[in-house]
Structure 1
Amino acid sequence: MTSSRFDFQIHATDGAARTGRITMRRGEIRTPAFMPVGTAATVKAMKPETVRKTGADIILGNTYHLMLRPGAERIASLGGLHKFMNWERPILTDSGGYQVMSLSELRKLTEEGVEFRSHLDGSKHMLTPERSMEIQRLLGSDIVMAFDECPRADRPRDEIAASMEMSMRWAKRSRDGFDAGEDQAGRSALFGIQQGALDEGLRRISADKLVDVGFDGYAIGGLAVGEGQEAMFATLDFAPGQLPVDCPRYLMGVGKPDDLVGAVERGVDMFDCVLPSRSGRNGQAFTWNGPINLRNARFAEDQEPLDSRCSCDTCGTYTRAYIHHLVRSNEILGAMLMTEHNIAFYQQLMQAMRDTIGEGRFAAFAAEFRANYRVSR
């Protein structure tokens, strides 16, 4: 365990792509970094020690879901989220802001915050920037996210602008609430979240307001919500450059392997997404040649590993034929093996990007990756 609260160093650049290291008291995070999603204090179908073995330096937990079950106060009484789930390394917690959008039929939005009706039992809960900071403090989060609203990109510009402005006011309240918890401010980092959908001008205003408040890192929010890869990349052509060069840039909720390569190419340092674990539970494996569906009958007698280039335990031990059988039989082991492989593949992809950026050949790597990665298989 290191003593640093938060330190970010860029070790090499190649075009807009960067590789570096975040140092925190619970360990170092190599960037570009992919954070497996442990929404409810678990990366589904994996033990924490297996997640770490794949190469993950940090995982993500969710404020909204943990607030509802088992409860932030309960987790705190049991020693905090790290002890509760047996993960000793850094944890980033989403603020609950994404659920403002995804559970819109269950909430009432005001300047004060968001009143949720629990999707579990219908009980009412009020989530404000201050309460989000308190919950993340109780959880013991290492990287705390400011509370925001995430509007869909297809909303009218005036609605997106009004939402962004409110998120910026919430960012200041998040900063104040975070700083009021002296133990939190002394041991954790706080990231602000840029909003503005696909609009360059709105994102510039958002970035400037966030920098005025001051954060340890900056997230790019409001993407990967249905706008498509082309529009997302067009936004990433300008959004990372609007944020401070000496702070980590985190693209929230992204994404597919080709999304990650394109975003790193545009200057993004951190990612999270449920896709590798969700796909693993549903029979899809990611490989260097693109995703494959293990439910497909053509794998029934295939003696090859999921990916011959992958170094994970699943690929070193089990055949496609066996995993096909597990998946088609709905055996729990199938979900476990597939998820382990997918998380490991994502970590190997991140390592390859870190290596090639450091060696000054990232552009060639990205071109080769795109040439080999076939989406429809």
Structure 2
Amino acid sequence: MSVGFTVIKEDTATRARAGVLHTLRGDVPTPVFMPVGTQATVKALTPHEVRDLGGKLILSNTYHLYLRPGADLIAAAGGLHRFMGWEGPILTDSGGFQVFSLAPLTRVEDDGVWFRSHLDGSQHFFSPEKAVAVQEALGADIIMAFDQCPPYPCSYEEARQAQERTTRWAYRCREAHRKKDQALFGIVQGGVYRDLREKSVRDLLALDFPGYAIGGLSVGEPKDLMYQVLDYTVPLLPGEKPRYLMGVGSPDCLLEGVARGIDMFDCVLPTRMARHGAVFTRRGILVVRNAAFARDFRPLEEGCDCYACRHFTRAYIRHLIKANEILGLRLTTLHNLRFIFRLMGEIRRAILEGRFAEFKEAFLSSWGRELPGEDE
């Protein structure tokens, strides 16, 4: 198989587990966070910087790469790994979320989705077969079934139609998938309705995917509601296969997701937040572009081993950001990804050592508030 999964240790107090995701391009310790390389690049960083920070597996976006530069061009370049200079494994999403969230004038049919490009207004059609074909041309190690992601809030009927269409499309993706060196994961939908989530899981289990994602969360619903959906959905997924929560990347949500048995996460939050001059710390979010840090000569976070914290101060990084210097955003991005990768490593060690519940409680007791700083 192109992808396998081994559970090494399960936490006795929660559903957290430490494992290894096996791919043809190397093993990935789990739980794992995937930084998002939307346009075949993790914004502001080179591939070797992502690797040196601790990145093992990255996500790229089918919708964006299909529109620009095109899957055919990337295939001609030798595939996505060679095109972007990343030697580790890559997961590509199906483009479903972006089709429904970015593209104007979307028209959904049972055969697929008509949409207009957010770049130039040109019209395109994505079917399950087209989504698989584009991802096969890109050459990612893990590809995702084409799904319909309903918005939040939505009615029960809207969620039901999206869930049933997602199931039908999953069957078609399975039939269209040809490349044996790629693993195709299914996506559970159903909004925030328990019976729809349970039906989605039952339907997808019949297809025996090598991994399962939970989609349609972190789309505006309260966090407590997301956790409730995970509480009743995750236990239905096969324990011997990886479980992937799509679009989640804040430290508190990562911990809560792991506690509920999630193995894989992705999100643009760490890099997007960095480009807005905000960074993660153990105590909360520090908005370093704020005036309060103009004469603050401490690192972004005491004790952090990232390049930014070892060499520069808050005052200097704020100066770079206010002066629109590229280095400022590179430094905040380096810090945020290192923070998340280090956190995931600490979570894994805590699971292996049988102390995850205590680690989670200690972290969350000090996390969750923006650090002092006055906006300009």
Does TM, normalized by the shorter one, top 0.5?
A: yes
- Do structure 1's residue 261 and structure 2's residue 261 form an aligned pair? no
Identify the match of residue 282 of structure 1 among 268, 276, 280: 276
**Structure-2 residue corresponding to 1:107:** 106
- Letter matched to residue 297 of structure 2: Q
Shift of residue 6 of structure 1? 1.2
Q: Could you tell me whether the CA contact under 8 Å between 2:104 and 2:118 is conserved in 1?
A: no
- Do structure 1's residue 234 and structure 2's residue 228 form an aligned pair? yes
Shift of residue 165 of structure 1? 0.3
Instruction: Number of aligned residue pairs: give it.
Output: 369
SS in 2 for 1:114: strand
Identify the match of residue 217 of structure 2 among 207, 218, 223: 223
Alignment of 1:1-377 (within 5 A): 5-14=2-11, 15-103=14-102, 105-178=104-177, 181=178, 184=179, 186-377=180-371
Q: RMSD over aligned Cα, in angstroms? A: 1.0
Shift of residue 318 of structure 1? 1.0
Percent of aligned pairs sharing the same letter: 50
Shift of residue 104 of structure 1? 5.5
Q: Could you tell me whether the CA contact under 8 Å between 2:19 and 2:30 is conserved in 1?
A: yes
Q: Could you tell me whether the CA contact under 8 Å between 1:253 and 1:273 is conserved in 2?
A: yes
Question: What is the TM-score with the length of structure 1 in the denominator?
Answer: 0.96
SS in 1 for 2:225: helix
Q: Deviations over 1:66-124 (max 9, x none)?
A: 00000000100011100000001000001011023203533211001011211111111
Question: What is the TM-score with the length of structure 2 in the denominator?
Answer: 0.96
Q: Could you tell me whether the CA contact under 8 Å between 2:103 and 2:118 is conserved in 1?
A: no
Shift of residue 374 of structure 1? 3.1
Q: Deviations over 1:333-373 (max 9, x none)?
A: 11101001101100001001000000000000000001111
> How far, CA to CA, are the matches of 2:303 and 2:167 in structure 1?
45
Q: Could you tell me whether the CA contact under 8 Å between 2:72 and 2:137 is conserved in 1?
A: yes
- Letter matched to residue 35 of structure 2: P
Shift of residue 237 of structure 1? 1.2
Q: Could you tell me whether the CA contact under 8 Å between 1:145 and 1:191 is conserved in 2?
A: yes
Q: Could you tell me whether the CA contact under 8 Å between 2:103 and 2:117 is conserved in 1?
A: no
> How far, CA to CA, are the matches of 2:76 and 2:8 in structure 1?
40
Q: Could you tell me whether the CA contact under 8 Å between 1:94 and 1:145 is conserved in 2?
A: yes
> How far, CA to CA, are the matches of 2:282 and 2:343 in structure 1?
9
Unaligned runs of 5+ in 1: none
- Letter matched to residue 184 of structure 2: L
Q: Could you tell me whether the CA contact under 8 Å between 2:104 and 2:117 is conserved in 1?
A: no
Q: Could you tell me whether the CA contact under 8 Å between 2:33 and 2:340 is conserved in 1?
A: yes
- Letter matched to residue 174 of structure 2: R
Q: Could you tell me whether the CA contact under 8 Å between 2:16 and 2:260 is conserved in 1?
A: yes
Shift of residue 375 of structure 1? 2.2
Q: Could you tell me whether the CA contact under 8 Å between 1:288 and 1:309 is conserved in 2?
A: no
Unaligned runs of 5+ in 2: 372-376
> How far, CA to CA, are the matches of 2:164 and 2:30 in structure 1?
30
Runs of 4+ in 1 over 3 A off after TM superposition: none
SS in 1 for 2:197: helix
- Letter matched to residue 91 of structure 2: L
- Letter matched to residue 90 of structure 1: P
- Letter matched to residue 46 of structure 1: L
